[in-house]
Structure 1
Amino acid sequence: MGGFKNETINSAFDIGIINVIIAHLTKCSKQMKVDCIATDNLLKNNEDAITNRLIAVYLNTEPGIFRYEPQSPEHYDRETDHYIGRTDIKVISGDYFRDEKAYYIIECKRIDGSITLNQNYITKGVERFFSPNPHPKYSSYYLQNIMFGYVVRAIDITENADKIDKLQGSLLKGATASQFTLMQNENSQYYVYACVYVAPDIGQIELNHLFFDFADVICEK
C-alpha cells in the first residue's frame, strides 16, 4: 500500500493515515455533542442529518491535510450513464488532484441495538465495498476504509459490536471477514475495531469500524 506524495501527508502516514482520520472524526464528534447540549440543538435521528452537520460544521472548519466531501458519486457505468454507488463521506488530499482514485471512504450507518439496523450495517454498508454489481459500489484504493456507526440509542456498544461481528459470518456477501479486533476506545463514548476482509477479485481489505455514542443528543421529534 503506497503513501501520499505530499511530505506533510507522508508524516501522517507514518503514524497511520486511518488513525489520523479516526482521531479527527472522534474529536469533531465529541465537540458536536458538547455543542448540541450547550445550544439545545439536538440531532435528528437521521443518518444524513447527522452526517451533514458533522461535515459542514466540524470536519472541514480547520485547516488540515484532508478535505471531507459529502455524497460523492462512485463508479460511473458507461452502459447506463449512472453511478453505481454514492459515498457518505469521501476523504481527499492534494494527491486526489494527481490521481482521482486516491481517497478514503467513510460509510455511515445508524446503530440502535436492533437486529434491523445491525443487518443494514452489513448489507447496506459493509457489503458496498465488496459485492459485485458488476463490481463493488465503493472503491478501496488504499485497501483501507472506515465504517462509522452512529449509536443513536443508549446501548452496550461492545455487546452490539459483538452481535454485528457474528452477523457478518452469516450475512456478508462478496467477502469473508476476520473477527473484530478492538483497537481503541475512550470510556464508553466510542470504540474502534479493525476487521480484515478477503474478497475473490479484490484481495485483502481492512475496514475500521468506529462506533460513537450520540444517544444523549438525539432528538426523537
Structure 2
Amino acid sequence: MDNLNACIFQYRNEPYELEFERILTGITACYKMMIKDNVSVPSNDEDRIRDVLYNNYLNNNRVRNNLKLNYYIFDCEVAEYDKNGNLAGFLDLKVSTQNRFFDSNAYYSIECKRLDNKKLSGVTGLNADYIKEGIMRFVTERYSSHSGINGMIGFVVEKINIDSNIKSINELLINNFKDANTQKKLTHVGFIKKFKHSYYSIHTDIENKKIKLYHLMFDLSKNIKGGTL
C-alpha cells in the first residue's frame, strides 16, 4: 500500500461516511423525482434550482416519509459563522442529524453549483467556479466540517459528457488550483443504485486536517426553460 492510499485508508470515518451516503442517496432520489415530474428550472440561477429541490422534495413531508429521511432536517441558505463569530457565508443545504440535539455542530454542509459546457478547462468558467466557490470554501474552513465529511452538488444545465467533465475539473485542480490541497482527485464511487455520477475527493484544509467531499452531478439539461422562473 503506497503512502497516499495508506493515508486515505487511515482517514476513513465509516459511521459518518455511511450516514452521509444514506443522505446523499435520498437527495439523489429527489433529483430522480424532479426528472420524472419534468420540473422546469432556470439555467442561470443555481439558488432557484436548489429551491425547487428543497421546497418540492427535501422539505416535503410526504417525500421525506417515503424516502425515510425523517431523521434528518434539511435547511437551505443558512448563515454560517467562522470561529470568531463573523458571518462566513450561507450554506446551500444544511443537513442536521439527531445528534444535533446534543451537539450543535452535528450537521453536514452541501454546496450547490451550476455546470455548463463552456470554458471547461478555463480558469474563468463554471468548472473553475466549482472549485473556487465550492471546494475551496471547505478547504479554507469558510464552511465548518464537524465530521470531516461534506458534499457538493453540480447542477448540469447544458448537455455535456459528465465523466469527461470530471476529468476537466481534476485537471484544473492539479494544474491551476494547487491551494485546494488535493490528496485524491474526484473519483467515481458507486454507492447509489442506478446512478452513476457520484464521486468523492480528499483534500487537506488550512489546518492540515483531511476532509472528504462527496460530489453528485445532477443532469438537468432537459429541464432547463431559460430565464429565472
Instruction: Report the TM-score when normalising by structure 1.
Output: 0.83
TM-aligned CA deviation for residue 202 of structure 1 = 4.1
Please tell me the residue identity of whatever aligns with 1:53.
V
TM-aligned CA deviation for residue 82 of structure 1 = 4.0
Aligned to 1:42: 40
Aligned to 1:53: 52
Aligned to 2:5: none
2:164 to 147, 159, 166: 159
**Gap change, CA 1:186 and 1:212, over 3 Å in 2:** farther
5+ residue gaps in structure 1? 4-11
Q: What is the CA RMSD across the aligned residues, in angstroms?
A: 2.4
**Gap change, CA 1:15 and 1:206, over 3 Å in 2:** closer
2:35 to 11, 25, 33: 33
Output the CA distance in 1 between the equivalents of 2:12 and 2:73. 19
Aligned to 1:215: 221
Q: Any idea what SS the aligned residue of 2:110 has?
A: strand
**Structure 1 vs Structure 2: percent identity of aligned residues?**
29
Output the CA distance in 2 between the equivalents of 1:121 and 1:191. 16
2:16–2:147 contact (8 Å) kept in structure 1: no
TM-aligned CA deviation for residue 94 of structure 1 = 2.1
1:113 to 117, 122, 128: 117
**Gap change, CA 1:150 and 1:205, over 3 Å in 2:** same
- Greater per-residue strand proportion: 1
Aligned to 1:7: none
Q: How many residues align?
A: 202
1:174–1:200 contact (8 Å) kept in structure 2: no
1:139 equivalenced with 2:137 (yes/no): no
5+ residue gaps in structure 2? 1-10, 120-124
**Gap change, CA 1:148 and 1:100, over 3 Å in 2:** same
Q: Any idea what SS the aligned residue of 1:181 has?
A: strand
1:22 to 21, 24, 35: 24
